[in-house]
Amino acid sequence: MRILPLVALSPLSGVAADRYDRRTIVRICNLVCGLAAATLAVGTAFGAMSRESLLATVFVIGACRAFEQTTLTTLLPGIVPVSLLPRATAAAASATQV
């Protein structure tokens, strides 16, 4: 469920990154992903997560990641000097994995 939105929404996320403010997209993705993770944590702690709600929450996290990854890839060259771009790209990839 986490990979499905990544594959399905990648074309749309590229269009959104080109059309809208990239910083805003990243902020919204972080907010929604954080809320979904909190929902997952609270729902699991209290035993309130059904299988369907768990899968839906993971789907939302995957959708956020799809938009965030594409947007961060296009955002980085606009804020980092060209000479530092390879290092910044590596650092961003490492931060995403963490």
pLDDT in tens, 8-30: 888 898 899 889 998 899 999 99
Closest among 59, 17, 68 to 40, alpha carbons compared? 59
Sign of CA dihedral 87, 91, 93, 94: positive
Kindly report, residue by residue over 42-98, the tens digit of the pLDDT.
Answer: 999 998 899 999 999 999 999 998 998 888 888 888 888 889 888 888 887 787 777
pTM of the model: 0.77
pLDDT at 3 over 90: no
Let me know: does 77 contact 85? Beta carbons within 8 Å: yes
